[in-house]
């Protein structure tokens, strides 16, 4: 399937289009842009995708991202031509998205107050750099390569930089990563160094690091691979494709994510909007976003915790001034995001507006959980033999809260995304050493 694609401003009263041969991610009206495909894909492709799982050593079929390349064909290649794929598509030997699919986990289901057969978790931590970020990085770096880019730039709570640095090293590009000093898990920081990135430590939090990286990226002709980049979000749609494929393309009732910069939510929303547009699905799964208590901007804004009116997409006319008032209030009080789940320690989510669109389209909900609840969630996932990090622990913890609140029903089909693997080994050691923790197995002395 070939075809042309463009970028388009998501603001319905603007809708300005852009060619794709540039790195514009924000329209002059201030809204972010989407990648738009000109062709309507046939649902018969689902059989092609399934068949590619027997990949016959073709890495573009083996990859859990590029197996769906017909739905991400912004480069306009002949998707059946292996030589076209090899020339254009960036892949870590087919490893991105390869091991990701939904699993049932009995102990987590019990903790989350769900019947085992209705509750699935999809580990994205088994991606080559250890988080879901690889899904979107393979597509963003593909676009960078189309533009002949020499240097990737990102700000990161850790996993974006690990993924960007890994792909950059593989593609012989440079990579600058801006990190909030002292706020990145040791395993993630180690990866940035290991893969040869230039680490730039920023005094402040992630929001400060992002501002610094965007300013420098402009000056130094770098290519930004944060989730502001619409090509990142294209690759992350495959997380949802793999969920749906596992369920024979029958949508679940809920898809649950932790919320940080809200790229994942935005990507999932766009994915579902397209699938409905194409007539591939009719039922729309509801998105549930789980914020950390200490970094709950989305929760505060959409649940009227800040002002009496909820913030919403409002058919493309969100109350942008309310967002400014909220940030101004937080800055004025010196309220910075604070959670041990550093991957979601974000106060000003870059994709907030796209996330509002996703929440409105899917009738989504936002809740929040404490660090202790996330630690229980992370640990019960571990007891089922799966690895995840603290931020991912928000997913089982959040499902438990939404079940208790009666928002998720017992007979709903729920799929949660475990976003990344454990990269701070001191956390499980600390959890299990403290015998007052719910699932602790304290060490004994001989």
Ligand X SMILES: *Cc1c(COP(=O)(O)O)cnc(C)c1O
Could you list the residues that contact ligand X (CB under 6 A)?
131, 133, 159, 227, 258-264, 343-344, 389, 391-392, 419-420
d(CA 73, CA 5): 8
Q: How far apart are CA 432 and CA 92, in angstroms?
A: 35
Are 149 and 176 in contact, with CB atoms under 8 Å apart? no
**Cβ of residue 332: shortest distance to ligand X, in angstroms?**
25
Beta bridge partners of 367: 290
Shortest approach of ligand X to residue 262 CB, angstroms?
5
CB nearer to ligand X: give 77 or 399. 399
The nearer residue to ligand X, 64 or 259, going by C-beta atoms, is 259
In the complex, minimum distance from the CB of residue 298 to ligand X, in angstroms, rounded to a whole number: 9
Q: How far apart are CA 320 and CA 212, in angstroms?
A: 23
Cβ proximity to ligand X: between 59 and 261 the closer is 261
At residue 234, the 3 state secondary structure works out as helix
Cβ 290 to ligand X shortest distance, Å: 10
Cβ 266 to ligand X, closest distance in Å? 8
Residue with tokens 């809260």, as numbered in its chain: 401
Beta bridge mates, 419: none
User: In angstroms, what is the minimal distance from the CB of 52 to ligand X?
Assistant: 26
Q: What Å distances lie between residue 181 and 77, 122, 208, 239, 404, CA to CA?
A: 41, 31, 11, 30, 38
Nearer to ligand X, 102 or 258 (CB): 258
| C-alpha to C-alpha distance for 287 and 366, rounded to whole angstroms | 8
Taking the complex as a whole, the smallest distance from the CB of residue 240 to ligand X amounts, in Å, to 13
Q: In the complex with ligand X, which residue's Cβ is closer, 318 or 393?
A: 393
Distance CA 25, CA 148 (A): 17
Q: Residue 274: which of 146, 362, 144 has the closest Cα?
A: 362
* 70 vs 389 by CB, closer to ligand X: 389
Closest to ligand X by CB, 59 vs 228, is 228
Three-state SS annotation for 142-194: HHHHHCCCCEEEEECCCHHHHHHHHHHHHCCCEEEEEEECCCCCHHHHHHHHH
């Amino acid at each position: 399937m070939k075809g042309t694609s463009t970028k388009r401003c998501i603001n319905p009263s603007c809708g300005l289009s852009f060619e794709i041969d540039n790195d514009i991610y924000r329209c002059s009206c201030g809204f972010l842009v989407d990648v738009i495909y000109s062709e309507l894909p046939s649902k018969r492709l689902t059989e092609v995708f399934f068949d590619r799982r027997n990949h016959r050593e073709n890495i573009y079929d083996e990859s859990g991202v590029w197996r769906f390349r017909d739905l991400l064909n912004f480069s306009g290649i002949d998707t059946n031509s292996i030589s076209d794929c090899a020339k254009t598509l960036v892949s870590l030997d087919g490893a991105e998205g390869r091991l990701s699919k939904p699993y049932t986990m009995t102990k987590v289901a019990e903790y989350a107050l769900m019947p085992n057969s209705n509750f699935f978790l999809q580990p994205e931590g088994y991606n080559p750099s250890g988080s879901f970020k690889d899904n979107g990085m393979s597509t963003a770096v593909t676009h960078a390569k189309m533009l002949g880019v020499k240097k990737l730039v990102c700000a990161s709570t850790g996993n974006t930089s690990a993924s960007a640095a890994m792909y950059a090293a593989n593609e012989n590009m440079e990579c600058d990563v801006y990190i909030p000093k002292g706020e990145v898990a040791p395993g993630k920081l180690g990866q940035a160094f290991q893969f040869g990135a230039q680490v730039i430590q920023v005094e402040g939090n992630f929001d400060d690091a992002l501002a610094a990286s965007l300013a420098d990226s402009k000056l130094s002709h770098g290519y930004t691979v944060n989730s502001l980049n619409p090509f990142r979000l294209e690759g992350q749609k495959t997380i949802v494709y793999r969920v749906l494929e596992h369920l024979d393309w029958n949508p679940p009732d809920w898809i649950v994510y932790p919320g940080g910069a809200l790229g994942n939510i935005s990507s999932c929303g766009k994915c579902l909007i397209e699938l409905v547009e194409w007539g591939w699905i009719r039922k729309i799964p509801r998105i549930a976003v789980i914020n950390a208590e200490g970094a709950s901007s989305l929760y505060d804004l959409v649940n009227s915790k800040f002002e009496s009116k909820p913030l919403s997409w409002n058919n493309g006319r969100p109350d942008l001034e309310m967002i400014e008032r909220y940030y101004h209030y937080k800055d004025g009080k010196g309220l910075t995001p604070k959670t041990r789940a550093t991957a979601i320690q974000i106060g000003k989510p870059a994709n907030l507006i796209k996330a509002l669109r996703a929440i409105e389209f899917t009738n989504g909900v936002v809740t929040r959980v404490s660090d202790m609840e996330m630690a229980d969630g992370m640990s019960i996932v571990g007891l089922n033999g799966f690895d995840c990090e603290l931020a991912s622990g928000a997913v089982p913890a959040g499902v438990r809260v939404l079940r208790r609140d009666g928002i998720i029903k017992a007979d709903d089909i729920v799929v949660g995304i475990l976003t990344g693997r454990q990269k701070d080994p001191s956390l499980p050691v600390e959890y299990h050493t403290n015998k007052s923790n719910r699932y602790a197995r304290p060490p004994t002395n001989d």
